[in-house]
Chain A
């Protein structure tokens, strides 16, 4: 008898709307979804379909207008702002389309920034940051200012920052949107390796070419998320 895979993120009847001058706009509706530990899930959809809103909810950066979200079995609606922060900084990593690096700081300092709000002793943080840079083949660039890196190197720096202390869930928003094909492939291989090491990845993209790296794909369209593969 096989052990059931535990669910990491579970959304039940989740809806999210935003207030606008012309009334409330519903961006996500009746979202029912479970993401299990170890999965590499792609969420596909055109611009404006609600992918980023979905990622923000998954990253605990936002709360749903209705419905419940469970993270690691914990109902986040029961958590206050501080509880959400704690959960986010310890268990969630994020990689952004435009890297979100601190351009005037060095590559190593950018990776060390992962520990800025964690109580990790400096020597240990330094060792973990250097290890993450090594895994992303960025050690030679450690002392370079981040602004001098190529797009692919910047994205790998952002990944190193996200995984310097391995998260349970890595949320990735359009990671190859600003990269050429070779760099994109390199970055996606990094994600694949991280997933093989047990990190659950939720990737938002509108590029179908990235599906081959994932173990599961979802489609986001008109505020709903379905298991159906994405079609243009």
Chain B
């Protein structure tokens, strides 16, 4: 019964000052919503990076040349020649290359990407053949018009193994379907080559229409080269050797980006720092403002409720009972602001997601941290008012009656 009575008292106490309680509640709700948004964005960035690292593949790193820098001269373009050089000099590694083309121009549906690659792609990248088979060396050597479709594209185009697909008036036979993850973290110009999206059609790199001349020259541009090491222990050494090879006078290419798990983590840290600094400052200000409003509300409450405090003491309340009452009132406000702020932020961010692809992740921390913050805020900002209320002498309080 005493708990029920306490809950009732808390409700009555907050109901007695609706305007002040509303102001305090509103400012705390805004603070909590900002905190939830910040946590969701940080969680989203972290999750996307982890996803991208896993998409890149285990022990895999990449060399990516952004489109604009690759359209320079033949000597300054990342090409099949570089992939061959790396493969020849790094015998313990598997090397693959990929070149992207506009799928829509080639006759694929909107948003689809056409990619030319080799037989080692599926041994390097973590993409998985779910039906049919990958390319083999003979497919590449004999310039066979084969294709491998992502499951998403296959579904969109109603393709299956054995189906034909038309690309620039030429027919390609689908020999496999693959699970390919969608693009993840925005990593500048390198993103598209690393994660071309889940509507992807792969063809052998030696086959037109990606290249209009035969035989296809080794100087043919590549958007990215991916290298998979054999063991995690030798991974850093492999990157160093690849880097050294790419600095040789006959292979040097300007403007290439190295995509490694470390660079992805570096991106994450940069994003996190920016978000933490900008968002964290706003969140902190909102929460402090809300907390101070709460303290002001409680201090006014203590002053206006002196006779009530006296009555409670006359009826047997201890100083701790009085302190707990005021602290619980504060906790009711902070925790309900937390619940409303969290829910509101979640709804707003879900709406925002439909407008633009924000990296968001609503993990358990997005609920736990605001709840804990609400609890701590309630205790911290109500401590002094609650202490003041508990210290009021009952005889003095009743004299004010």
Alpha-carbon separation in the docked complex, A59 to B397 (Å): 14
Alpha-carbon separation in the docked complex, A58 to B254 (Å): 94
Q: Are B395 and A62 in contact (CB under 8 A)?
A: yes
Chain A 100-134 interface residues, beta-carbon cutoff 8 Å to B: 100, 102, 104-105, 113-122, 125
| B12 neighbours in A (Cβ, 8 Å) | 102, 104-105
**CB proximity of A174 to chain B, nearest CB, Å:** 11
Q: Give the total number of A-B pairs whose CB atoms are below 8 A apart.
A: 70
Q: Are B317 and A100 in contact (CB under 8 A)?
A: no
Tell me, yes or no, whether B233 is within 8 Å of chain A by CB. no
Chain B 1-44 interface residues, beta-carbon cutoff 8 Å to A: 1-2, 4-5, 9, 12, 15-16
**CB proximity of B386 to chain A, nearest CB, Å:** 17
Q: Which of A62, A105, A116 is within 8 Å of B312, CB to CB?
A: A116
Q: A61-B313, A81-B319, A114-B315 are in contact. Are A104 and B15 (CB under 8 A)?
A: yes
Chain A interface, number of residues (Cβ within 8 angstroms):
32
Tell me, yes or no, whether A180 is within 8 Å of chain B by CB. no
Q: Which of A100, A113, A117 is within 8 Å of B398, CB to CB?
A: A100
Q: Are A61 and B319 in contact (CB under 8 A)?
A: no
| B1 neighbours in A (Cβ, 8 Å) | 115, 119-122, 125
**CB proximity of B321 to chain A, nearest CB, Å:** 7
Alpha-carbon separation in the docked complex, A125 to B4 (Å): 14
Tell me, yes or no, whether A96 is within 8 Å of chain B by CB. yes
Alpha-carbon separation in the docked complex, A118 to B314 (Å): 12
Query: Counting chain A CB atoms within 10 Å of each CB, which of B12, B15, B398 scores highest?
Result: B398
Tell me, yes or no, whether B188 is within 8 Å of chain A by CB. no
- Chain B, Cβ-Cβ closest to A99: B401
Tell me, yes or no, whether B90 is within 8 Å of chain A by CB. no
Alpha-carbon separation in the docked complex, A104 to B305 (Å): 13
Q: Are B316 and A61 in contact (CB under 8 A)?
A: no
Q: Are A100 and B318 in contact (CB under 8 A)?
A: no
Tell me, yes or no, whether A82 is within 8 Å of chain B by CB. yes
- Chain A, Cβ-Cβ closest to B16: A104
Tell me, yes or no, whether B358 is within 8 Å of chain A by CB. no
**CB proximity of A163 to chain B, nearest CB, Å:** 13
Tell me, yes or no, whether A89 is within 8 Å of chain B by CB. yes
Tell me, yes or no, whether B179 is within 8 Å of chain A by CB. no
Tell me, yes or no, whether A52 is within 8 Å of chain B by CB. yes
| B5 neighbours in A (Cβ, 8 Å) | 116
Q: Are A56 and B395 in contact (CB under 8 A)?
A: yes
| A115 neighbours in B (Cβ, 8 Å) | 1
**CB proximity of B315 to chain A, nearest CB, Å:** 6
Q: Are A88 and B314 in contact (CB under 8 A)?
A: yes
**CB proximity of B277 to chain A, nearest CB, Å:** 46
Q: Which of B15, B317, B399 is within 8 Å of A117, CB to CB?
A: B317
Q: What per-residue 1/0 map shows which CB atoms of A179-198 lie under 8 Å from chain B?
A: 00000000000000000000
Q: Which of B16, B316, B393, B398 is within 8 Å of A96, CB to CB?
A: B398
| A74 neighbours in B (Cβ, 8 Å) | none
| B9 neighbours in A (Cβ, 8 Å) | 116
Q: A96-B398, A119-B1, A119-B2 are in contact. Are A89 and B319 (CB under 8 A)?
A: no
Alpha-carbon separation in the docked complex, A104 to B11 (Å): 12
**CB proximity of B2 to chain A, nearest CB, Å:** 7
Q: Are A88 and B4 in contact (CB under 8 A)?
A: no
| B318 neighbours in A (Cβ, 8 Å) | 81-82, 85
Q: Are B398 and A85 in contact (CB under 8 A)?
A: no
Q: A56-B398, A97-B401, A102-B308 are in contact. Are A117 and B314 (CB under 8 A)?
A: no
Alpha-carbon separation in the docked complex, A76 to B1 (Å): 29
Alpha-carbon separation in the docked complex, A105 to B311 (Å): 14
Q: Are A85 and B317 in contact (CB under 8 A)?
A: yes
**CB proximity of A21 to chain B, nearest CB, Å:** 16
Q: What per-residue 1/0 map shows which CB atoms of B43-76 lie under 8 Å from chain A?
A: 0000000000000000000000000000000000
**CB proximity of A81 to chain B, nearest CB, Å:** 7
- Chain A, Cβ-Cβ closest to B397: A61
- Chain A, Cβ-Cβ closest to B317: A117
- Chain A, Cβ-Cβ closest to B318: A85
Chain A 15-72 interface residues, beta-carbon cutoff 8 Å to B: 52-53, 56, 59, 61-62
Tell me, yes or no, whether A150 is within 8 Å of chain B by CB. no
Tell me, yes or no, whether A86 is within 8 Å of chain B by CB. yes
| B399 neighbours in A (Cβ, 8 Å) | 52
Q: A116-B5, A119-B2, A120-B1 are in contact. Are A94 and B401 (CB under 8 A)?
A: no
Alpha-carbon separation in the docked complex, A161 to B385 (Å): 28
Alpha-carbon separation in the docked complex, A85 to B318 (Å): 7
- Chain B, Cβ-Cβ closest to A173: B398
Q: What per-residue 1/0 map shows which CB atoms of B309-329 lie under 8 Å from chain A?
A: 011111111110100000000
- Chain B, Cβ-Cβ closest to A89: B316
Tell me, yes or no, whether A221 is within 8 Å of chain B by CB. no
Tell me, yes or no, whether A216 is within 8 Å of chain B by CB. no
Alpha-carbon separation in the docked complex, A105 to B11 (Å): 12
Alpha-carbon separation in the docked complex, A102 to B401 (Å): 12
Chain A 131-150 interface residues, beta-carbon cutoff 8 Å to B: none
| Across the A-B interface, the 5 shortest Cβ-Cβ residue pairs | A89-B316, A117-B316, A56-B395, A61-B394, A61-B395
What are 28 of the A-B contact pairs (CB < 8 Å)? Answer: A56-B394, A56-B395, A56-B398, A61-B313, A61-B314, A61-B398, A62-B393, A62-B394, A62-B395, A90-B316, A96-B398, A97-B401, A98-B307, A98-B401, A100-B307, A100-B398, A102-B12, A102-B308, A102-B311, A104-B12, A104-B15, A116-B5, A116-B9, A116-B312, A116-B315, A117-B312, A118-B316, A119-B2
* Residues of A that sit less than 8 Å from B by CB: 52-53, 56, 59, 61-62, 81-82, 85-86, 88-90, 94, 96-98, 100, 102, 104-105, 113-122, 125
